[in-house]
Structures are given as C-alpha cells and as structure tokens.
Amino acid sequence: MNLVLQTLVSTIVQGSLLALITIGMSLVYGTLRVLNMAQGVMVMVGAVAAYVTVDGLGVSPWLAILVAVLVTAVLGMLSYGVGISRLIGRAGVDFEMTAFISTFAIASIVQNLVQLIYGPRQKDFPVLLDGRITLTEGVSITLHQILTAVIAVGALALLGLFLSKSRYGLAIVAVAQNLDAARLMGIPARRAYVLTMGLAAGLAGLAGVLLAPVYFVSPTMGDLPLLQALIVAIFAGLGSTRGTIIAAYIIGFVQAAVSIFWTSTYALPVLYALIVVVLIVRPYGIAGKPQEARL
Amino acid sequence: MLSIDGVVAGYGGTTIVQGVSFEVPAGECAVLVGPNGHGKTTLLRAISGLIKVRDGRIEFDGDEITRERAEKIVERGLIHIPQGDLVFPDMTVAENLQLGAFTKSAAKRAKARIEEVYEIFPRLLERQAQRARTLSGGERRMLAIGRGLMGDAKLIMIDEPSLGLAPVIVDEVYRQLRRIVDSGMTVLLVEENFRRGQTLADRIHLVENGEIIRSGGADDVLDDRAVRETYLGVSE
C-alpha cells in the first residue's frame, strides 16, 4: 500500500515536470513543424541562470524563478532569430530537417558556452521550501515536491488560458491548425513563431529551476529531460497539447512504477521499449494526427 | 480599387500565372472564369501575399502591395476567402468567426459583425459551438465566407465558392453572394462555372494557361462565338 502511494506521489511530481518541458516542444512542433532539440538545454540554462542569481547576486530563490524564465524566454526567441527564421520558405531547403539540425547545433553551442563560463562541476541549489509532510507511516512528500507540482500545474493552466482566450494565444493555435488560413486572417505568422519559441523556452527554464534542487546544477543537466521529453512527445503525438499532458503523466507513472517496484536503472530502458511499441502500433502517438510537411 | 499589372507567379520552378493584367473598380464584381489548373487560385494567392509575386505590380486602394506580407494586406482591407477547407478544424464555429476579425480595426466591430454573419447564414448560428471539423462541406464553405465577412473588407476575393458542393447548396451560397455584391462591396470572384459567375459579374475575365484571353461585360463576352463553344459547350 505504501509503495502504491509513493508511486502516486512520484507520478504527480514527475508527470507535471515532464508536461511542463514537453508542452513547449509540442507547441513549437505545432506551429513550426520543428522538433526542437534545444528544449533540454533551456532546462539547464534556467537552472544555471537561477543558480547565478542566487549564488552570485544573493537574491532570493523565488526571484530567481522569474529571472530564469525571462533569460530562457529571450534565449528561445534569439535562437529562433538566429537558427530558424532564415530557413523558412527557402527554395530547395527541407525546412523540417534543416531546422531540426539547427536546433541541435544551438543546443550544442549553448551547452558548451555554459560549460566554458561556468565549468563542468555540479553545484547545489537550495530548495525553495524546506520540510516534508508524512502521508502515512513510511511515505512522505517534501514541500519542494508539492511546490513543484503546484507551480507546474499552475503554469500549464495559465498557458491553457493564454492559448484559448488571448489574442496572441489564439493566433498561435490558428497558425498551428492551418497556416494559410491564419495568414489570410491577418495573423502575423512570424510573430506567432517567435512568441511560441519564447514561451516554450520559458516553460523549460521554469522546469529547470524546479529540477535544480533535485538534480545538481550542471551543463549536462538538460540531457535527461530532453530524452524524457522526446519520449513523451512521441507517445503523445507531436503537436497535441492535451495529448502531451496525458502522456506526461503516463510516462511519469511508468517511470515511477518501474523505479519503485523494480529498480530505477530499468526506468529508461522500459520507457524506450514502450516507445518502440507505440511507434509500431500507433506511429503518430495517442492523440496526434498524421501530418504533412508545410514550411 | 485593385489593379493588377503584368503579374507573374508560380511555385518552385513552375510559372503558373504568366503576366496577368486587369482592374477591379470600386463597387463592382469582377469574375475570373476558366478551367481548373489554369492559375486562377495561384493569382489570388499572389495578390493576398501567400506566395511571392515574381514580376509585375499590384496596387490596392492607391498603394502598391506587390511584395507586402499577407497580414499587412489583410489590414489594408483586402480579404481573401480561400478555396476548399481552409477553416480551423479544431476550433468551434464561433472561434473561427472570431479569428476572422483578428486585425485591430476588425476586432472592435466583431460583436456586431458576428450577428450579421449569423443572419446571413443561420446554419452557422445553429452550429456555433460545434468544432469546424464536424461540419458538412457546404457548412464549411459558409463558415469560410462568414469568416471573411468578419474582417474590415474593402474588397473581398472569393475562390471557387461552389467547388464540390451539391447544386442546392450552391444555390444557397450564391443567393448570399448576391446579397454581398448588392450591398456595394467590391468583389473579385473566381469561378469555374461560367453561368454561375455570370449571374454576379459586372465584368468577366477569361483565364487560360495563366493568361487572360478575353475581358468584357458579362454579356459582351457571352456573345463571343469562341467563348460560347469553349465554356458553354454550344456549337453553332
């Protein structure tokens, strides 16, 4: 019984974080049809930015959240300007593939720059809230875990509200659903792309701060989140936001269950096995639709 | 209102529109008639900025718009209602219409306009909470036209409003197009069916192989014997 409860707690925390990271990839894929390989690096940059603010400037970790989100959002928009926008609509260029490689290059450059400036060592980041609550005999949840879930779910809810109610949110959704129709409504597609890239990176940056006290802060801390996000994205079907959230919790559950009932060493291999099955049975994921190239 | 001068456009290595010139005076309805695959849709896409104009010049309301971005052209009041199923499939009918009034000036009048659209197409009012992908072909066409009417249009370009629809639905769509033309709106219509286009046209341009081969008033063009043979299947 305790193990079941523990699995549940872990699922909620892990799932919320995964959703936060993957939803950005999904949005970017939805509007730009680019598989954004820089999403993991944004997680890392968020954590490093928060670490530098707290350690270097002595500011409260809470304020560091804001700094991390801003820094990553700006970096996301910059990477669109540098690595993606110039590839759009170029004759003779396979946009999807070129932009995919371009985001990979951006990730590599950013990661190495951070390593150069900040060094490869792992650093500690303070938890935002200290303490834990005992649920039953032997099962407890840390306040940081609760905070992580609350902030992640809150951010996702705000995102949902933004996409369904605001002018520019609707513009992003419209571009994702039908690019030509969106442009004929007077929706500035390029502005929607920039905004999406900023939004996606900012969400990853937020996840980075929440992950920082759990993992250590280091230039490679975004590698595993990127892998996990790719698994969630494939499982969900690229471009589907609702599917992404469902998939994030399913993957979070599988990971938690394997770790708790078996051993954490097998968590990733089991997920990969699951992905192979998904790809064979339903190549476009649980909620995705088969899609065509368009840019 | 709209002046097209020697416009050339196409996709990739193919040139489809081969130097087309014509004008649409304010308050008139011009109809481009011609068989499928002869560049009518490509021409509209070039005018509205969806594809690049390779040569020539386009003027709208006194300003050159040849190389402007699509969103800027919409802001000027040149609204393109595309062919086929270019609705937002996973949004409701009401949300689709709302997006038709995306530009700032149109957004201010969206409330009143949506009532007008529902009055023109009562079917859309019934279906307002339904997702666009669940609509029938005819309803989707009405949605696309209604969404175009939500904008701040000075000129509306409508691409093949009757394509693929049952004749009864086409009659309905054309009744509403008649209302739009009669309201004094400047319209550029693309139509494959000569007879249908003729019912609305002040001026007809016959398009073949990416060129305009003949222009004139609806009746002048009809009097032409070659036209009667090619487009109406009447041989004398």
- Taking only the tens place, the pLDDT of each residue in B23-53 is 999 999 999 998 888 899 999 999 999 999 9
* Closest by Cα among B224, B157, B236 to B194: B224
- Taking only the tens place, the pLDDT of each residue in A129-143 is 888 988 888 888 999
Name the strand (E) or helix (H) holding B80: strand B78-81
**A55-86 b/e (C-beta count within 10 Å ≥ 16 → b):** eeeeeebeebbebbbebbbebbbebbeebbbe
Residues 6+ apart with CB under 8 A from A233: A22, A25, A26, A29, A35, A244, A247, A285
* Residue of chain B nearest A189, judged by CA positions: B71
CA distances from A251 to A7, A189, B94, B211 (A): 12, 33, 35, 57
Provide the number of CB pairs (under 8 Å) joining chain A to chain B.
64
Q: Hey, are the CB atoms on A183 and B88 less than 8 Å from each other?
A: no
**Is B228's pLDDT higher than 70?**
no
Report A:138-167 residues touching B (Cβ under 8 A). 167
Cα separation, A77 vs A266, whole angstroms: 37
Q: What average pLDDT does the structure give for chain A?
A: 91
- Residue B92 counted as domain residue: no
CB of B138 less than 8 A from some CB of A:
no
* Maximal C-alpha separation, chain A: 65
* Residue of chain B nearest A181, judged by CA positions: B86
How large is the C-alpha radius of gyration of chain B? Answer: 17
CB of A290 less than 8 A from some CB of B:
no
User: What is the pLDDT at residue B194?
Assistant: 84
The SS3 call for residue B120 is: helix
**Is B219's pLDDT higher than 80?**
no
**Is A91's pLDDT higher than 80?**
no
A247-252 mean pLDDT: 94
**Is A293's pLDDT higher than 80?**
no
Q: How confident is the model at residue B20 (pLDDT cuts 50, 70, 90)?
A: very high
Q: Hey, are the CB atoms on A184 and B74 less than 8 Å from each other?
A: yes
CB of B69 less than 8 A from some CB of A:
yes
Residue A89 gets the label, from left (phi > 0), alpha (psi -120 to 50) or beta, of: left
Q: Give the nearest partner residue to B50 out of A173, A180, A185, using CB atoms.
A: A180
Q: What average pLDDT does the structure give for chain B?
A: 90
DSSP β-ladder status, B155-159 and B186-191: parallel
* Under 8 Å between Cβ of A249 and A153: no
Which chain B residues are closer than 8 Å to A189 by Cβ?
Answer: 70-71
Cα–Cα–Cα angle for B230, B234, B236, rounded to 5 degrees: 110
Tokens of A98: 């070129």
Residues 6+ apart with CB under 8 A from A41: A106, A107, A110, A111, A222, A226
Neighbours of B45 (CB within 10 A): 25
Instruction: Find how far residue B106's CA is from the centre of its chain.
Output: 19
A95-118 mean pLDDT: 94
User: What is the pLDDT at residue B85?
Assistant: 72
- Taking only the tens place, the pLDDT of each residue in A156-187 is 999 999 999 999 999 999 999 999 999 999 99
Per the structure, the count of domains in chain B is 1
Query: Residue B69 half-sphere exposure, CB side, CA atoms within 13 Å?
Result: 11
The SS3 call for residue B225 is: helix
- Residue B57 counted as domain residue: yes
- Residue B25 counted as domain residue: yes
Report B:35-54 residues touching A (Cβ under 8 A). 48-50
Span of A81-85, A276-280, B79-83, B139-143 with lowest mean pLDDT: A276-280
* Residue of chain B nearest A187, judged by CA positions: B71
Provide the ipTM.
0.89
- Residue B107 counted as domain residue: no
User: What is the pLDDT at residue A152?
Assistant: 96
A209-233 mean pLDDT: 93
**Is A93's pLDDT higher than 60?**
yes
Cα separation, B226 vs B233, whole angstroms: 10
CB of A174 less than 8 A from some CB of B:
yes
- Residue B22 counted as domain residue: yes
**Is A38's pLDDT higher than 60?**
yes
Which chain B residues are closer than 8 Å to A177 by Cβ?
Answer: 88-91
Single-letter amino acid code for the residue at B205: H
The residue among B71, B92, B133, B152 with the most chain A CBs within 10 A of its CB, best to mutate, is: B71
How large is the C-alpha radius of gyration of chain A? Answer: 19
A24-37 mean pLDDT: 93
- Taking only the tens place, the pLDDT of each residue in B47-76 is 999 999 999 999 999 999 999 999 999 999
* Under 8 Å between Cβ of A16 and A149: yes
* Residue of chain A nearest B86, judged by CA positions: A181
CA distances from B194 to A171, A277, B22, B28, B67 (A): 37, 55, 18, 18, 31
What are B30's strand-pairing partners?
A: B188, B203
Single-letter amino acid code for the residue at A109: I
Please give the residue range of the domain that contains residue B202. 1-77+154-162+186-236
Q: Hey, are the CB atoms on A181 and B82 less than 8 Å from each other?
A: yes
B189-213 mean pLDDT: 89
What are A220's strand-pairing partners?
A: none
User: What is the pLDDT at residue B6?
Assistant: 92
Report A:87-106 residues touching B (Cβ under 8 A). 91
Cα separation, B59 vs B43, whole angstroms: 14
**Is B236's pLDDT higher than 60?**
no
Q: Hey, are the CB atoms on B99 and A170 less than 8 Å from each other?
A: yes
DSSP secondary structure of B157-197: EEE-TTTT--HHHHHHHHHHHHHHHHTT-EEEEEES-HHHH
- Residue B82 counted as domain residue: no
Q: How confident is the model at residue B4 (pLDDT cuts 50, 70, 90)?
A: very high
* Closest by Cα among A222, A224, A199, A198 to A209: A222
- Residue B169 counted as domain residue: no
**Is A294's pLDDT higher than 60?**
no
CB of B86 less than 8 A from some CB of A:
yes
Q: Hey, are the CB atoms on A186 and B48 less than 8 Å from each other?
A: no
- Residue B158 counted as domain residue: yes
B81-89 mean pLDDT: 87
DSSP β-ladder status, B186-191 and B29-33: parallel
Single-letter amino acid code for the residue at A98: T
CATH number of domain containing B52? 3.40.50.300
